[in-house]
Amino acid sequence: MNHTGIRRKSHAEQTLMTEGPIYSQIVWFALPLFLGNLFQQLYNAVDSLIVGNYVGSSALAAVSSSGNLIFLAVGFFNGLSIGGSVLIARYLGAREEDNVECAVHTSAALGLIFSVIMTVLGVAFAPAVLRLMQTPADVLPESMTYFRIYFAGSLGFIMYNILVGILQGAGDSRHPLYYLIISSLVNVILDLLLVTQFHMGVGGAALATVISQLLSMVLALRRLHHIGGALHLSFRKIRLDRKMAGAILRLGLPSGVQNSIIAFSNVLIQSYINSFGSAAVAGIGSYQKLEGFAFLPVTSFAMALPAFISQNLGAKEPERARKGAWFGIACATAVAALIGLFFTFFGPNLIALFDRSPEVIAFGSGRARIVGPFFALVAYTHMMAATLRGAQRPMVPMVIMLVCWCAVRILVLAVSSLFIHDIAVTYWVYPITWTLSSITFTVYYRRERIFDEGSKAGI
């Protein structure tokens, strides 16, 4: 891989964040990410809103019970895309144009390979996985339908994550926003058409999501194909470069595994929730949709920081990287604290948007009251993890999450279930592990001083 200079003004599609006002750069980069995540969350919530109101609580439970399994897969590939994004940002900051081009085409090749694998696994193993989760019998057939249709369209969500990772690594957060707005509107229209007019039930909701994701993938692909300079994606050049693929996977796999570990622990918790019946599944599933909206500011800053930090470290500007990291951490934590208080007090009203059943509302709002006051801790954890990914230390957050958000959660749930069978245990396990991970990240950061001159942050 040759190291040649990047002509900074050769194409407007690339935005270097290695000079100029730090805080405004991060905010303006994070704002389109926030709006894009908002629309993405909207078309996830629309499935539940339409299904819950037009098909019924059982169908809503079917969509909800599939949610954690779907997030397990989506989270993995979202994390995997970070590898290419961080690497491209680092090469852009270091002015290494040939490496940028190689990373773009290798990322696309990896995405195609994983799309085929995920389609086969998702469709083939849907029944076995849902039964292992103890999905209620009255929910299982519809859950299986939703799950299989969703994963038949794996190409859409996997390639979209990979392609958007490339754009974000280059500092472009605007075009992904446009694509998500378009696909979200299409999803709403298709949901209303397929579910309320053609009466396709949860299958129609899943099909609407798949078509919308494929559309957003096509738009991102078109953008990269028509872009100028090193970011241009040529279909003829899509192939695996062994060294570059190794570098992408070393950076991306830990983040993907981290996301999947979190989702896996949530799948196990979902299995425990399933034992309380379809009302619990529907109520807590509705809460989780709302929680997705609550964490949008956190997610947006967590997506913006790795590119900002990596570009500046590539440009030998560690002090800019440090200031940007702490600004992002402070903003996300403060916003999450305010949103958590809102959820704590208005939980019942929010759950009622999905289902007006008193039992469903009781389950959803019960969780909101317990976890809402601790939102600042989960925000802090995510931001510290994003900072370390940008500094090319993805193994650290992966290990911390493996211990705190998976092993400890499973241990607490397993031990407590020997003595009590109370759904509140599944609520409290989150604040406990958020607190533990926040303490661990703080201790690591203070000890390692990752932005000091000479600190190790190799690929």
pLDDT digits (tens, 9 = 90+) for 198-214: 888 888 988 998 999 99
Q: Is residue 288 part of a domain?
A: yes
Q: Is residue 1 part of a domain?
A: no
Q: Is residue 157 part of a domain?
A: yes
- Angle separating helix axes 375-390 and 296-314, nearest 10 degrees: 20
User: 52: closest CA among 224, 295, 286, 303?
Assistant: 286
Number of structural domains found in the chain = 1
Q: Which pTM was predicted? A: 0.77
Q: With contact defined as beta carbons under 8 Å apart, do 317 and 18 qualify?
A: yes
Q: Is residue 10 part of a domain?
A: no
Identify the domain containing residue 409 by its residue range. 22-447
Q: With contact defined as beta carbons under 8 Å apart, do 223 and 177 qualify?
A: no
Q: Is residue 298 part of a domain?
A: yes
Query: What's the residue count for the chain?
Result: 459
Q: With contact defined as beta carbons under 8 Å apart, do 410 and 268 qualify?
A: yes
Q: Is residue 455 part of a domain?
A: no
CA 343 – CA 350 distance, rounded (Å): 8
Helices (H), 315-419: 318-351, 358-371, 375-390, 395-401, 408-417
Tokens of 66: 């599939």
Q: With contact defined as beta carbons under 8 Å apart, do 69 and 291 qualify?
A: no
pLDDT of the chain along its 459 residues, tens only?
A: 444 443 334 443 456 777 888 888 898 888 898 888 787 777 666 767 788 777 777 777 777 666 667 777 888 888 889 889 999 998 988 888 899 999 999 999 999 999 999 999 888 887 788 887 777 777 788 888 888 899 999 999 999 999 999 998 888 889 999 998 898 889 889 988 998 888 888 889 889 989 999 999 999 999 999 988 889 999 999 999 999 999 999 999 898 888 777 777 777 787 888 888 888 888 888 888 788 778 888 988 998 899 899 989 988 889 999 999 999 999 999 999 999 999 888 888 888 888 788 888 888 888 999 999 999 999 999 999 999 999 989 999 999 988 998 899 889 888 887 888 888 888 999 999 999 999 999 999 989 888 875 444 443
CA 65 – CA 49 distance, rounded (Å): 15
User: 74: closest CA among 245, 332, 262, 221?
Assistant: 262
User: 437: closest CA among 393, 407, 392, 394?
Assistant: 407
CA 415 – CA 408 distance, rounded (Å): 10
Tokens of 387: 């900072």
The tens digit of pLDDT for each residue in 277-334 reads 888 888 888 888 788 778 888 988 998 899 899 989 988 889 999 999 999 999 999 9
Q: Is residue 282 part of a domain?
A: yes
Q: With contact defined as beta carbons under 8 Å apart, do 426 and 370 qualify?
A: no
Q: Is residue 369 part of a domain?
A: yes
For 385, which DSSP code?
H
Three-class secondary structure of residue 433 per DSSP: helix
